[in-house]
Amino acid sequence: MAELKQCRRCRKTLHIDHFVDSSGLRNPRGHYCQLCHLKRLDERHRAALKRELITIKKLRIIYGKHWRHYAAPEFFHASLHDERDFCPYCGTWFDEITPGTFNNSLLHLDHMDPLDKGGENSIRNVVVCCGPCNIRKGKRLFLDWLAMLEPKYRKLARAIYRHKHGHPPEGFIEGHSTKRGWPYLELTLYKPVAELQKLFPKPVVAVPSRKRPPASTAKRNKTGAGRANKS
Ligand SMILES: [Zn+2]
Ligand SMILES: [Zn+2]
């Protein structure tokens, strides 16, 4: 008798072996059966994606076609997790790190161009990767990090970078450390779309200003320097 309990979601009375904790691991003290746990994760993920779509709509009102530069990764976990289900740097499957979890702290958001060296704090510059890779990468420039990867993942990571940034990693202009935080983002999240449309009949910004590379790194970035000095 003591071996049975009721699932909070499906209300079925099941053997305690069917119960899992919030990370999906078998645990007789968990509130939900394994199936309900997976359904809950899926529901939460879909709800998060829906919220993120609304955030995109709001960012578009304020920033126009350049909204991606202003899309702070912290507000796009679900979309970023949907990009792939394995680490782009080493190939580890995310569900092998933690079973069936979304938004788990063992997965890291990596800024491909490090914030410390002027990388953008936006979804353009962020991928989900495994913790060990993120820690190994540290504050390295993306090109230096690529050199440390297995050829297969070097090729993949370079392609992902190119796809997300719209230019190869050689085009990155190293600069001063990027501050987190966005002047309008709080606003975009809490005001309804209709109100934002009234407040911002036209987008407020153009592209983020191009950074001039410090003299010491000018040589490394010679391919992108010509374009950068124009501003
Ligand atoms: Zn259940
Ligand atoms: Zn990895």
User: In whole angstroms, how large is the CA radius of gyration of the chain?
Assistant: 22
Ligand nearest to the CA of 31: 1
What pLDDT, on the 0 to 100 scale, is given for residue 221?
44
- The length of the chain in residues reads 231
Rounded to the nearest whole angstrom, what is the distance from the C-alpha of residue 101 to the centroid of ligand 2?
17
Q: Which residues does residue 136 pair with via DSSP β-bridges, in sequence order?
A: none
Rounded to the nearest whole angstrom, what is the distance from the C-alpha of residue 32 to the centroid of ligand 1?
5
Ligand nearest to the CA of 13: 1
Rounded to the nearest whole angstrom, what is the distance from the C-alpha of residue 229 to the centroid of ligand 2?
36
Residue located via tokens 């779309």: 193
pLDDT tens-digit map of 171-194: 999 998 887 766 666 667 788 999
What is the longest distance spanned by two Cα atoms in the chain? 77
* Domain formed by 71-178, architecture: Orthogonal Bundle (1.10)
Task: Report the amino acid identity of residue 77.
Answer: H
User: Of 124, 85, 89, 123, which is closest to residue 104 (Cα–Cα)?
Assistant: 85
* Contact call for residues 129 and 86 (beta carbons, < 8 A): no
Q: Where are the domains of the chain?
A: 1-66, 71-178
Cα three-residue angle 125-117-168, rounded to 5 degrees = 45
Rounded to the nearest whole angstrom, what is the distance from the C-alpha of residue 164 to the centroid of ligand 2?
19
Rounded to the nearest whole angstrom, what is the distance from the C-alpha of residue 48 to the centroid of ligand 1?
22
What pLDDT, on the 0 to 100 scale, is given for residue 182?
63
Rounded to the nearest whole angstrom, what is the distance from the C-alpha of residue 54 to the centroid of ligand 2?
31
Ligand nearest to the CA of 134: 2
What pLDDT, on the 0 to 100 scale, is given for residue 102?
47
User: Of 53, 54, 180, which is closest to residue 114 (Cα–Cα)?
Assistant: 180
Q: How far is CA 45 from CA 37, 41, 51, 176, in A?
A: 12, 6, 10, 35
Under-70 pLDDT residues of the chain: 1-2, 98-105, 181-187, 206-231
Rounded to the nearest whole angstrom, what is the distance from the C-alpha of residue 1 to the centroid of ligand 1?
18
Rounded to the nearest whole angstrom, what is the distance from the C-alpha of residue 119 to the centroid of ligand 2?
20
Cα three-residue angle 35-40-42, rounded to 5 degrees = 95
Separation between Cα atoms, residue 157 and residue 9, nearest integer Å = 40
Separation between Cα atoms, residue 126 and residue 110, nearest integer Å = 5
Ligand nearest to the CA of 37: 1
Ligand nearest to the CA of 90: 2
Separation between Cα atoms, residue 74 and residue 94, nearest integer Å = 19
Instruction: Find how far residue 118's CA is from the centre of its chain.
Output: 17
Residues 6+ apart with CB under 8 A from 209: 231
Separation between Cα atoms, residue 69 and residue 125, nearest integer Å = 9
Coil, helix or strand at residue 39: helix
